[in-house]
Structure 1
Amino acid sequence: MGILETIGESEAGGAMAAAYAADRAALGYVPSHTKVLAMNPEAFEAWKTLQSAIAGSMGMRRYELVTLAAALGLGSRHCRLAHGNKALKFFDEQQLLRIARDYRDAGLDEAEVAMMDFAVKLSTDSAAMVEADSRRLRDMGFSDREIVDITLAAAARNYLSRILQALDVDVDVPPKLGEEMRGALLDPIDSREAIAG
Structure 2
Amino acid sequence: MTDDAMGNFPVPELSDLPEDIKERIESETERAGFTPNVFSAFAYKPSHFRAFFEYHDAIVDESPLEREEIEMLIVTVSGVNDCLYCVVAHGALLRVYADAPKLAEQLATNHRSADLSEPHRAMLDFAVTLTETPGKVDERDLERLREAGFSTEEIWDIGSVVALFNLSNRMATLADIRPNEEFYTLGR
- TM-score bracket, normalised by the shorter chain, equals 0.7 to 0.9
Structure 1 ranges of 4+ moved more than 3 A: 8-13, 94-102
Amino acid at match of 2:122: A
Once the two structures are superposed, residues 5-55 of structure 1 have per-residue CA deviations (whole angstroms, 9 ceiling, x without a partner) of 212346656234223312321322223322221123333223222112212
Amino acid at match of 2:81: L
Aligned: 1:43 with 2:48: yes
Question: Helix, strand or coil: the match of 2:116?
Answer: coil
Once the two structures are superposed, residues 144-188 of structure 1 have per-residue CA deviations (whole angstroms, 9 ceiling, x without a partner) of 11111100110011121111212x323214415249x7xxxxxxx
Amino acid at match of 1:42: S
Q: Measure, in 1, the Cα distance between the counterparts of 2:80 and 2:113.
A: 17
Aligned: 1:135 with 2:128: no
Note the 1:23-172 alignment, pairs <5 A.
23-56=28-61, 57=63, 58-91=65-98, 92-166=100-174, 168-172=175-179
How does the TM-score come out when normalised to structure 2? 0.81
Q: Measure, in 1, the Cα distance between the counterparts of 2:166 and 2:103.
A: 25
Question: Helix, strand or coil: the match of 1:142?
Answer: coil
Once the two structures are superposed, residues 88-113 of structure 1 have per-residue CA deviations (whole angstroms, 9 ceiling, x without a partner) of 22223144454445433332201011
Question: Helix, strand or coil: the match of 1:93?
Answer: coil
Pairwise CA distance, 1:63? 0.7
Amino acid at match of 2:133: D
* C-alpha contact (below 8 Å) 2:10/2:44 kept by paired residues: no
* C-alpha contact (below 8 Å) 1:70/1:157 kept by paired residues: yes
Number of aligned pairs? Answer: 179
* C-alpha contact (below 8 Å) 1:70/1:122 kept by paired residues: no
Q: Which one is further off, 56-65 or 89-98?
A: 89-98
* C-alpha contact (below 8 Å) 2:79/2:109 kept by paired residues: no
Correspondence for 1:193: none
Q: Measure, in 1, the Cα distance between the counterparts of 2:26 and 2:105.
A: 30
Amino acid at match of 1:48: F
- Sequence identity (%): 25
Q: Measure, in 1, the Cα distance between the counterparts of 2:40 and 2:13.
A: 8
* C-alpha contact (below 8 Å) 2:42/2:49 kept by paired residues: yes
How does the TM-score come out when normalised to structure 1? 0.78
